[in-house]
Each structure stands twice: as structure tokens, then as C-alpha cells.
Amino acid sequence: MKTFKEEMKGYLKKWEASGNKVTSYVCQHCKKKIKTPQPTKKLVDSRGYWDSMKKCYECGGFNFVLIYPTGKTEVKTWGIKIKEKK
């Protein structure tokens, strides 16, 4: 039986092998850089990004991540503002 991490690594390999890009976000729980598929412009809707709940393959924590076709990523948390820009 494969671990979740092995499964994700395998999935990312396939994603890259089919000519797609991989980007990364920083997990809010373990602070590690987590690789994730990067969408092409064709794959995103009119908002211009992907948003999804992602399970970190390092610590198992959940992050709500926005991923842009440029490779930019944003991690959202609920109810808690980590940084406030003024």
C-alpha cells in the first residue's frame, strides 16, 4: 500500500510527464514547501485561478490554496488573518 505522500509524488510526476507544470505553496502547519499541479490558462475559470482544499503530504494538515496559471500561490485560512497588510 502506498502512502499518501508517495501517491502525491507519483501523481505530480505524471502531471509533469504530460507536459504540465508544478508549482508550490507553503503549508501553514509544517511550513514546508509543498508541490502542487500548476494549471494552464485553459484550465482555470473566469476567476483566473484554481482554489481547492489540499492535504499536505508532509504533515497531513489541510490548506485552502489558490493557484494561478503564473505559478503564484496563496494559502487561505478561515477566520484567522495571519498577515494584515495596511
59 sits near Zn ion (criterion: CB under 5 A): yes
Q: How far is CA 28 from CA 12, 31, 32, 52, 58, in A?
A: 21, 5, 8, 15, 11
Q: Which is nearer to Zn ion, 64 or 69 (CB)?
A: 64
Helix (H/G/I), strand (E/B), else coil: 6 = helix
Q: Which is nearer to Zn ion, 24 or 69 (CB)?
A: 24
Q: Least separation, in Å, of the C-beta of 17 and Zn ion?
A: 25
Contacts (Cβ under 8 Å, ≥6 apart) of 55: 4, 61, 62
Q: Least separation, in Å, of the C-beta of 60 and Zn ion?
A: 7
Q: By the criterion CB under 5 A, which residues form the site for Zn ion? A: 27, 29-30, 56, 58-59, 61
